[in-house]
């Protein structure tokens, strides 16, 4: 199984390199101005997975800005509710029709969301990101980048996928080069680079990822209105890094790491309560998973199930609910489809 995954990831790495060499630059409308955590989440927050009047991607819709805006809103409903079956249905619908969108910017944005949806769908097992889904995500992100060259979000997504592939293949020179590039990607690149480092099985890389997020100025917490709880997910990734380091019994700083993990969780919990995080019901589970040394997650950390440098299993900051944790309460800027 690992050989199949690695072969697919290798294909994706090659595809990305070839595409970047040929990619053109064309600019669409500038994205919404960044603000602190996107400001206040949009209330009331509805976690109902049902969608009334689901978008039908017929010829009229493909030519209509308001219809494509509704299509994106539909996508975020599936994301913020961690509705995997809804994501799969959205993928099937968009795969079949998105090439028919004539407006280059609109088509590229939908392609970016398609790439995002492939990544989310790839997490359905809760164990690893399926290699074939990541290949499709890379292709969709590359297609989007042709007319979204100003988008830190799409560039960071593409680079994150590439890093996952490079670490799975143990291609460290390519990974390090990509990390350096991501640090130039405004508000999205540095923390996404930190995430990639935190998901490795290398103690030095994990420590580097923790340091990036803990030392990063406010830029790591800033994002658009689509991700009002980004700071919480950043904190969750840091805690998983500490949990991994604590699984290494030969370390001399275990007491210090335990203290840092406990404090990080206390801060995480306080922020979640203060901001009325809609997933407060998951706090007890997250606390047990991360802080209880006998939890299933901590037990599996001690086992060697990695693919190359990619640590398995995925933690909750990369599990099937990860995107929901971050994007719940987000709103789509109407001018994206003007």
pLDDT 10s digits, 234-263: 999 999 999 999 998 889 999 999 999 999
Q: Establish if 46 belongs to a structural domain.
A: no
In the predicted model, what is the mean pLDDT of the chain? 83
Provide the residue range defining the domain that includes 300. Answer: 2-37+59-337
Q: What 3-state DSSP class applies to 222?
A: strand
Task: Check if the beta carbon of residue 150 is closer than 8 Å to that of residue 27.
Answer: yes
Count: domains in the chain:
1
Q: Establish if 48 belongs to a structural domain.
A: no
Task: Tell how far CA 266 is from the center of its chain.
Answer: 24
Q: Establish if 245 belongs to a structural domain.
A: yes
Q: Which residue matches tokens 């935190």? A: 198
Round to whole Å and give the CA distance between 128 and 108.
27
Residue 44: exposure state from Cβ atoms within 10 A (0-12, 13-18, ≥19): exposed
Q: Check residue 40 and give its pLDDT.
A: 60
Q: What Å distances lie between residue 49 and 71, 74, 150, CA to CA?
A: 15, 10, 32
Round to whole Å and give the CA distance between 334 and 185.
24
pLDDT of residue 128 exceeding 80: no
Q: Establish if 49 belongs to a structural domain.
A: no
Q: Check residue 102 and give its pLDDT.
A: 92
Q: Label residue 287 by pLDDT band (50, 70, 90).
A: very high
Number of Cβ within a 10 Å radius of residue 269: 17
- Note the maximum CA span of the chain: 64
Q: Establish if 259 belongs to a structural domain.
A: yes
DSSP codes of every residue in 16-31:
HHHHHHH------SPP
Q: Establish if 118 belongs to a structural domain.
A: yes
Round to whole Å and give the CA distance between 257 and 216.
19
Q: Check residue 58 and give its pLDDT.
A: 94
Q: What angle do CA 86, 89, 94 make, to 5 degrees?
A: 125
Task: Tell how far CA 7 is from the center of its chain.
Answer: 23
Q: Which helix (H) or strand (E) holds 35?
A: strand 35-36
pLDDT 10s digits, 138-185: 999 999 998 887 788 888 899 988 998 899 899 999 999 999 998 888
Nearest CA to 229 out of 189, 185, 273 is that of 273
pLDDT of residue 18 exceeding 50: no
Model pTM score = 0.86
pLDDT of residue 314 exceeding 60: yes
Q: Which residue matches tokens 């998973």? A: 289
Nearest CA to 142 out of 159, 166, 164 is that of 159
Q: Label residue 127 by pLDDT band (50, 70, 90).
A: low
Q: Establish if 44 belongs to a structural domain.
A: no
For residue 21 the two structure tokens come to 């060499």
Tell me if the bond preceding 313 is cis, omega within 30° of 0. yes
Q: Check residue 235 and give its pLDDT.
A: 93
Q: Label residue 24 by pLDDT band (50, 70, 90).
A: very low
pLDDT of residue 187 exceeding 90: no
Q: Check residue 177 and give its pLDDT.
A: 92
pLDDT 10s digits, 42-79: 666 777 777 878 999 999 999 999 999 999 999 999 99
How much of the chain, in percent, has pLDDT values that exceed 70? 83
For residue 208 the two structure tokens come to 């580097």
Q: Establish if 47 belongs to a structural domain.
A: no
How big is the chain by its Cα radius of gyration, in Å?
A: 19
With a CB cutoff of 8 Å and minimum separation 6, the contacts of 161 are 12, 16, 115, 119, 134, 137, 138, 141
Q: Check residue 43 and give its pLDDT.
A: 62
Nearest CA to 158 out of 20, 314, 38 is that of 20
Mean pLDDT along residues 92-120: 94
């Amino acid at each position: 199984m690992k050989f199949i995954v690695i072969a697919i990831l290798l294909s994706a790495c090659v595809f990305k390199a070839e595409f970047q060499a040929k990619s053109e630059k064309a600019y669409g409308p500038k994205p919404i101005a960044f603000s602190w955590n996107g400001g206040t989440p949009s209330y009331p927050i509805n976690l109902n997975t049902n969608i009334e009047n689901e978008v039908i991607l017929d010829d009229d819709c493909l030519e209509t800005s308001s219809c494509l805006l509704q299509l994106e809103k539909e996508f975020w409903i599936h994301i913020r509710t961690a509705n995997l079956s809804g994501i799969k249905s959205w993928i099937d619908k968009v795969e079949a029709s998105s090439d028919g969108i004539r407006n280059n910017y609109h088509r590229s944005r939908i392609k970016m969301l398609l790439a995002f949806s492939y990544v989310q769908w790839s997490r359905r097992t809760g164990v690893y990101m399926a290699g074939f889904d990541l290949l499709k995500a890379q292709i969709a992100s590359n297609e989007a980048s042709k007319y979204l060259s100003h988008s830190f979000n799409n560039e960071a997504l593409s680079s994150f996928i590439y890093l996952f592939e490079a670490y799975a293949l143990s291609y460290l020179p390519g990974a390090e080069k990509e990390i350096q590039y991501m640090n130039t990607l405004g508000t999205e690149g540095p923390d996404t680079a930190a995430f990639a480092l935190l998901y490795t099985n290398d103690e030095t890389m994990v420590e580097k990822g923790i340091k990036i997020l803990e030392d990063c100025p406010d830029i790591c917490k800033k994002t658009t209105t689509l991700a009002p709880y980004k700071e919480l997910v950043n904190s969750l990734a840091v805690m998983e890094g500490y949990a991994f380091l604590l699984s290494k019994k030969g370390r001399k700083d275990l007491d210090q790491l335990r203290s840092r993990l406990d404090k990080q969780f206390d801060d995480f919990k306080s922020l979640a309560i203060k901001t009325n995080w809609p997933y407060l019901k998951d706090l007890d589970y997250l606390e047990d998973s991360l802080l209880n040394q006998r939890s299933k997650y901590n037990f599996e950390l001690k086992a060697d199930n990695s693919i190359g440098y990619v640590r398995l299993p995925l933690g909750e900051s990369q599990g099937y609910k990860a995107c929901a944790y971050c994007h719940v309460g987000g709103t789509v800027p109407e001018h994206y489809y003007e």
